[in-house]
Structure 1
Amino acid sequence: MNKGINVNPLIILYNRLRILNPFRKSIPLKTAKDTYQPFLIIGSGRSGTTLLRSMLNQSNEVEIPPESFVLPRILKRYKVYNKLPWNDFLKIILGEFSTHPQFQYWNLNLTNTFAELAGVPKSEQSLFKIIDTLYTSYTTFKNKPGAKWGDKTPLNTYHLTLIDKIVNKPKYINIIRDGRDVVASYLKADLAENIDDACNRWRDAIIAVQQFEKRNSNRVLSIRYEALVTNPENELRKVCDFLEVEFENNMLQNNRNSEALGDSVYSHHENLKKPIDTSSIGKWKSNLSTDQMTKVDTLISTELKKLGYTD
């Protein structure tokens, strides 16, 4: 089980006053010694991001922890607390991870992580150093020391510019899926408030990546969910080439040790226990009513047509 990092409110209050000191140097976002280039799986929820994570995690060269939901939040904390002493800053940033309900699935002891980071030389102290150490600790916990770490949190898709400021030149693997199937999946899993919410989530994710990719095309690889499940080896080889890791046949056995993913306990991830198949392509045809499809056409038909989803 992970252990939280306790932050004394009085210490925070005292140090907030110290923050106002204009002569105190800020802890940097990154330093010249932060050379690791991680990767993030992005795209709308219900687009196959978890499937891709389960495939890549079969490799000995890659490890992606459960969703964290924290990266955009810690930049906000950084802006407020970046002039605190290093150890106090550590407690606040690690506390953001430990207090998020889903972080329990990482099964990390953050007391150990804090102890490791507390001894970091001043020249190496940065926000990215904390992130890198935390994710690297997870790869070690999963018996993959030295593996490339990545992140798979679909909500990060809406904050790419922010995340790009925190993480050191990350690569992005963007998964695109037919928005009609995404909407149907959101509604079936009860993960959206209503059909409008489901449509907006898909459309906003598509637009967010398109805008980001215009400025960072060399760091974004887009693949289609439909291609991933129809010809998984071909698509995985593209991803592996992009990440500069070897393709392994184990990656095609995505349901092997699915319980090791941590968050596979959720009912909306139940398909992770099954082999890869194409049965979820076009499910919107039977799962969405005529009225629902009218709403879908109104809200996302423009983006669907641009992406070629016209049948």
Structure 2
Amino acid sequence: MINVSPFFILANPRSGSSMLRIVCESHSQLCVPPESGFMEWWYPKYKTWQASDNRDQIKINLFVKDILSSKKIETWHLDSEFLFKMIEKENPRNYAEIIALVYISFGLKSNKDLKVWGDKNNYYLHKTILLNKIYPKAKFIHLIRDGRDVATSYMALQELHFSSNYAPKLSHNIEEIAEEWSANNMLLDSFFKTIDKERVIRVHFEDIIKNLKNECIRITNFLKVPYEESMLEYYLLNKKRKIEPQETLDWKKKTLEKPDIKNIGKYKDLLSVKELAVFNTIAQEGLKEFGYE
């Protein structure tokens, strides 16, 4: 049986979602590959996939070729022949199942005792309706970070120089950042209120930093897998296994470091009085809703 009950890590950019992805990827029964939006991109072309299509090698070849042409998918290092044979063997009956096999292929490549696969993609916070349509039993982890610290992270990107084509293009205008942070998190909150509450868990970045073990236990309980101590050593495993691809590591280097409480409340020193006032005014509703008053 192909697992079509994945989980999605959704968050505003610069909220620690890459760190949480690596924490989960450090678990022997979970797999969360690097981000790529192919699930949404190829939906129009392959949404009518059915079991009879698995008997057509040309169709399978085309699907595999399309998937492996997707933006960022090269960071997954998938084997086209392995994916092709897996599709033939597992006989996916619909789009949800054939897409699941792409993720499962990634997990098996790492020799995992895979029980649950997941996806981390900030882009998908605007695609929740489609995600829910494809996977109506999916679970969602809403990761949220104090928007004022998010703002300092947005602004810090200005000082970095990237050679990657995938470098983030984020605003450094405090008004725009405040509006985006508030709108994105309120959008997620509104969607989560439309689905079964047992399918959603909210995790605060600050709680991960302060007590990673406790949050890992919450998450593994939510996903119904046993807690593993390896999750606490995510940064060491990232160094060893290169879980975060080199193509995106320039702006995600903190995933190579242990949780640091200094990353909480940095805005108090880095934002000016004026910037802080602007952010607090614009994002007042979101700050109150999510406990950051």
Query: Taking structure 1 as the reference length, what is the TM-score of the superposition?
Result: 0.79
Larger radius of gyration: 1
Q: 1:239 aligns with which of 196, 199, 219?
A: 219
The offset of 1:97, in angstroms, is 3.3
Distance in 1 between residues matched to 2:206 and 2:130, nearest whole Å = 29
1:137 alignment partner, one of 93, 105, 108: 105
Moved more, 158-167 or 182-191: 182-191
Contact 1:139 1:147 in 2 (8 A): no
Task: State how 1:35-54 maps to structure 2 within 5 Å.
Answer: 36-54=4-22
Contact 2:149 2:266 in 1 (8 A): yes
In the TM superposition, what are the counterparts of 1:262-281 in structure 2 within 5 Å?
262-263=244-245, 265-281=248-264
**Equivalences for residues 274-293 of structure 1 within 5 A:** 274-293=257-276
Q: Which of residues 91, 116, 119 in structure 2 aligns to 1:148?
A: 116
For residue 68 of structure 1, report the CA deviation from its aligned partner.
1.1
- Given the alignment of the two structures, is residue 97 of structure 1 paired with residue 67 of structure 2, yes or no? yes
Amino acid in structure 2 at the alignment position of 1:38: P
Aligned residues of 1:94 and 1:110 also touching (Cα < 8 A): yes
| 1:34 Cα offset (Å) | 5.2
**TM superposition shift of 1:298:** 4.0
Work out which of the residue numbers 63, 68, 80 in structure 2 matches 1:110. 80
> 1:293 and 1:171, CA in 2 relative to 1: closer, same or farther beyond 3 A?
same
DSSP 3-state at the match of 1:215: coil
For residue 4 of structure 1, what is the aligned residue in structure 2?
Answer: none
After TM superposition, list the pairs within 5 Å mapping 1:1-311 onto structure 2. 36-78=4-46, 87=56, 90=60, 93-118=63-88, 121=91, 124-190=92-158, 191=168, 192-195=170-173, 196-216=175-195, 217-259=197-239, 260-263=242-245, 265-310=248-293
Question: Counterpart amino acid of 2:203?
Answer: I
Give the partner amino acid of 1:268.
Answer: W
Contact 1:177-1:224 within 8 A present in 2 as well: yes
C-alpha contact 1:68 1:97 (8 A) present in aligned 2: no
1:189/1:153 CA distance change after superposition, 3 Å: same
> Measured at CA, do residues 294 and 77 of structure 1 come closer, stay the same or move farther in structure 2, by a change above 3 Å?
farther
Alpha-carbon distance, 1:89 to partner: 5.2
Residues in 2 aligned to 1:193 and 1:215: alpha-carbon distance in whole angstroms: 30
Question: Which amino acid counterpart does residue 188 of structure 1 have in structure 2?
Answer: A
Deviations 1:138-189 (A, max 9, x none): 1111110434211111111111111111125111111111111112212212
> Residues 100, 35 of structure 1: CA spacing in aligned structure 2 closer, same or farther, 3 A cutoff?
closer
Distance 1:90 1:292, change over 3 A: farther
Q: SS of the counterpart of 1:254?
A: helix
Could you tell me which amino acid in structure 1 is paired with residue 215 of structure 2?
A: E
- Aligned counterpart, 1:19: none
Aligned CA-pair RMSD: 2.5
Secondary structure, aligned partner of 1:245: coil
Deviation of 1:90 after TM superposition, in Å, equals 4.3
Q: How many residues align?
A: 275
Q: Secondary structure at the match of 1:222?
A: strand
Superposition deviation, residue 92 in structure 1: 5.5
Under a length normalisation based on structure 2, what TM-score does the superposition of the two structures give? 0.84
Q: Is contact 2:32–2:120 with CA below 8 Å preserved after alignment?
A: yes
Offset at 1:43? Answer: 1.4
AA matched with 2:229: N
Rate the CA distance shift 1:262–1:92 in 2: closer, same or farther, 3 A.
farther
Distance 2:131 2:250 in 1: 29
* Cα offset, 1:291, TM superposition: 4.0
Q: Which residue of 2 aligns with 1:27?
A: none
Structure 1 unmatched ranges of 5 or more? 1-32
**1:106 Cα shift?**
0.4
Amino acid aligned to 1:101: K
Distance 1:202 1:71, change over 3 A: farther
Residue 222 of structure 1 deviates from its aligned partner by 0.5
